[in-house]
């Protein structure tokens, strides 16, 4: 990693470095010069606001953007309308994600009229859609910078160009096979961090736009991942979340293949790391080897997010999920046999084209059989360019809404029962924050991902403590600390 000191010594008078990481540090130094100038003229530092609008992969990308802005000398600003530079890291998985972005831009338009020096940037998944960029070019001329998911590593370079220019800069790539390591990154929490293990997706589920906007699967080298985690551990991080669109196919495309299960075993050896989480798992790629590693692990959390999407084998086939209802249920059985206390969560889509009442009943049946700890339920959203968008028998809104409400009731009733089973037990909790509503309480997380509120002091944040789970309130517990733990 290049530290701040080295950045100060980056000789702007020298030639532009060839190696990509160094090149980007060079541009961070260029931005710093701009920041120095801004400070001289305005007697304050420029303020930057990073707005994350997507999933955990996006959230991690936002931390990288924030890291680069911090290196360039910007101050962090939470309110987008008060920033000198605001960047929206967008999502496009469902249509309402896109609508939110236009909503934000609509609100910023009059702000920018009053503060014309303000720079507005857009990046992330939504920018990979050509129709979106066309619309921005036509109707949102006040946007200064647009780039996509594949060249996010070039942010410092694009920022430098944007700060110096009043034109709209657009740099969106169709794909890349490049992974640039060792760029700076902020961390929202000092004690836990996301770690990318792979990028992109090769699955092409028929409803999903992600393979088109995130490109083909690329895995990071295990050594680069281990190096990052060792560094995080040395910096006080105790919990990591390994991130990828389909972590179970990690390593398949590496020159020296390495399975996800093997990677987990190597990570387990790293001192200081106490909890390991990962997402997202595709049921078709979840191997017996991985289940075995989970069974034997002291650090892998007792939680698996295993999106089912639908309980109907017929719909699963149309979704191109490549498993049947029975195969999914068998996988759940194997997981529970190996790790009896595992908590399972899922994603479910309602109203996929052609979904009949009988298909929907199959989904309810899976929910009742698996008894998820929680489920994210989505109304099918038509994404232009995906095979499902061209399918016949799109389901009327009223029918979808009615099924969605029935599913939600079922999911919530079951999860309230499932979550309550630990009442009375003493379990390790990672203290994460001071409670939003009551400052005498801390909010922490169990290995199975449930939240627990308990009396405690701010100094305990980032430590793992034993908490007696006294009362379950639906989706969280109220508890009391038993004793400070030193080991898991």
Q: Which residues bind ligand SF4 (CB under 6 A)?
A: 54-55, 57-58, 91-93, 125, 210, 213-214
**Contact of residue 94 among ligand 5AD, ligand SF4, none (CB under 5-8 Å per partner type):** ligand 5AD
Distance of alpha carbon 196 from alpha carbon 388, whole angstroms: 29
Decide whether 23 or 94 has the Cβ nearer to ligand 5AD. 94
CB of 379 to ligand 5AD, least distance (A): 6
Asked whether position 207 contacts ligand 5AD by CB under 6 A, the answer is yes
Asked if 181 and 24 count as a contact pair (C-beta separation under 8 A), the reply is no
Task: Tell me how crowded residue 103 is: count the other CB atoms within 10 A of its CB.
Answer: 11
When asked if residue 105 is in the footprint of ligand 5AD (CB under 6 A), the reply is no
> Which of ligand SF4, ligand 5AD, none lies near 347, with the C-beta cut-off 5 to 8 A by kind?
ligand 5AD
Burial degree of 136 (CB within 10 A; 0-12, 13-18, 19+)? buried
- DSSP lists the bridge partners of residue 193 as 240
How far is it, in rounded angstroms, from Cα 209 to Cα 150?
15
121 binds ligand 5AD (CB under 6 A): no
Cβ at position 443, least distance to ligand 5AD in Å: 25
The window from 115-123, 289-297, 373-381, 416-424 that contacts ligand 5AD (CB under 6 A) reads 373-381
- The nearest distance, CB 248 to ligand SF4, in angstroms, is 17
Q: Is 92 in the site for ligand 5AD (CB under 6 A)?
A: no
Asked if 187 and 63 count as a contact pair (C-beta separation under 8 A), the reply is yes
Compute the distance between CA of residue 7 and CA of residue 47 in angstroms, rounded to an integer.
20
What letter would DSSP give residue 462? T
β strands within 84-166, DSSP E: 85-90, 119-124, 145-147
**Cβ-based burial of 483 (10 A; exposed 0-12, middle 13-18, buried ≥19):** exposed
Pick one of ligand SF4, ligand 5AD, none as the site partner of residue 54 (Cβ within 5 to 8 A by kind). ligand SF4
Instruction: Report the partner that residue 277 touches, choosing among ligand SF4, ligand 5AD, none (CB closer than 5 to 8 A by kind).
Output: none
In degrees and rounded to multiples of 5, residue 44 shows phi and psi of -160, 165
* Among 2, 433, 456, residue whose Cα is nearest residue 190: 433
* Contact between residue 51 and residue 35 where contact means Cβ atoms under 8 Å apart: no
Tell me the residue number closest to ligand SF4, measured at CB.
Answer: 54
Q: Does 378 bind ligand 5AD (CB under 6 A)?
A: yes
Of 201 and 342, the one with the shorter C-beta distance to ligand 5AD is 201
Contact present, 69 and 40 (Cβ < 8 Å): no
Question: Closest distance between ligand 5AD and the C-beta of residue 210, in Å?
Answer: 7
Min dist. Cβ of residue 204 to ligand SF4 (A): 14
- Among ligand 5AD, ligand SF4, none, the one that 308 touches (CB under a kind-dependent 5 to 8 A) is none
Rounded to the nearest angstrom, the gap between the alpha carbon of residue 235 and the centroid of all alpha carbons in its chain is 21
Chosen from ligand 5AD, ligand SF4, none, partner binding at 342 (C-beta under 5 to 8 Å by type): none
281 lines the binding site for ligand 5AD (CB under 6 A):
no
**Longest C-alpha distance within the chain, in Å?**
70
Does 322 help bind ligand 5AD (rule: CB under 6 A)? no
Residue placing its CB nearer to ligand SF4 in the complex, 97 or 238: 97
Minimum CB distance to ligand SF4 smaller for 203 or for 447: 203
Minimum Å gap between C-beta 9 and ligand SF4 is: 36
The secondary structure of 263-327 as a DSSP string is HHHHHHTSTT--EEEEE---GGG--HHHHHHHHH-SSB-SEEE---B-S-HHHHHHTT----HHH
Nearer to ligand SF4, 23 or 94 (CB): 94
**Which of 83/209 has CB closer to ligand 5AD?**
209
Q: Beta strands 218-219 and 198-199: pairing type? A: antiparallel
Interacting partner of 214 out of ligand SF4, ligand 5AD, none (Cβ under 5 to 8 A depending on kind): ligand SF4
Q: How many helices (H) and strands (E) does the chain have?
A: 14, 19
Please report, as ranges, the residues that interact with ligand 5AD according to CB under 6 A: 93-94, 207-208, 307, 309, 347, 349, 378, 380-381, 383
């Amino acid at each position: 990693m290049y530290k701040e000191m080295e950045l100060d010594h980056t000789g702007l008078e020298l030639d532009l470095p060839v190696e990509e990481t160094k090149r980007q540090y060079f541009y961070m130094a260029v931005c710093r010069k701009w920041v120095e100038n801004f400070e001289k003229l305005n007697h304050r530092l420029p303020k930057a606001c990073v707005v994350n609008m997507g999933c955990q992969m996006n959230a991690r990308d936002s931390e990288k953007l924030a890291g680069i802005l911090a290196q360039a000398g910007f101050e962090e600003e939470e309110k987008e309308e008060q920033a000198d530079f605001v960047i929206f890291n967008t999502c496009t998985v469902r249509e309402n994600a896109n609508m939110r972005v236009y909503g934000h831009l609509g609100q910023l338009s009059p702000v920018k009229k009053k503060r014309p020096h303000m720079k507005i940037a857009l990046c992330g998944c939504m920018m990979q859609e050509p129709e979106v960029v066309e619309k921005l070019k036509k109707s949102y001329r006040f946007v200064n910078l647009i780039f996509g998911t594949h060249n996010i590593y070039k942010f410092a370079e694009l920022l430098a160009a944007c700060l110096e220019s009043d034109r709209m800069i657009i740099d969106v790539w169709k794909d890349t096979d490049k992974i640039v390591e060792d760029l700076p990154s902020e961390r929202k929490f000092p004690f836990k961090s996301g770690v990318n293990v792979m990028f992109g997706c090769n699955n092409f589920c028929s409803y999903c736009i992600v393979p088109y906007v995130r490109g083909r699967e690329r895995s990071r080298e295990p050594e680069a991942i281990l190096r990052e985690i060792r560094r995080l551990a040395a910096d006080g991080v105790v919990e990591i979340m390994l991130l990828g669109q389909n972590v179970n196919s990690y390593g398949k495309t590496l020159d020296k293949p390495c399975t996800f299960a093997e990677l987990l075993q190597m990570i387990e050896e790293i001192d200081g790391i106490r909890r390991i989480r990962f997402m997202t798992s595709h049921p078709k790629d979840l191997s017996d080897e991985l289940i075995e590693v989970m069974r034997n692990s002291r650090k892998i959390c007792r939680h698996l997010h295993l999106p089912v999407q639908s309980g109907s084998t017929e719909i699963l086939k149309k979704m191109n999920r490549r498993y049947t209802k029975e195969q999914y249920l068998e996988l759940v059985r194997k997981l529970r046999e190996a790790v009896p206390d595992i908590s399972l969560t899922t994603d479910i889509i309602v109203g996929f084209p052609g979904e009949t009442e009988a298909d929907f009943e199959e989904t309810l049946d899976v929910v009742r059989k698996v008894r998820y700890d929680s489920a994210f339920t989505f109304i099918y959203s038509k994404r232009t360019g995906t095979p499902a968008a061209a399918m016949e028998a799109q389901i009327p809104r009223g029918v979808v809404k009615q099924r969605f409400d029935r599913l939600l009731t079922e999911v919530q009733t079951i999860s309230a029962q499932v979550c309550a089973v630990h009442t009375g037990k003493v379990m390790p909790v990672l203290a994460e924050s001071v409670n939003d509503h009551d400052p005498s309480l801390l909010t922490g997380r169990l290995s199975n991902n449930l939240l627990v509120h308990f009396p405690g002091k701010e100094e305990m944040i980032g430590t793992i403590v034993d908490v007696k789970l006294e009362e379950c309130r639906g989706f969280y517990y109220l508890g009391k600390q038993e004793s400070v733990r030193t080991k898991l």
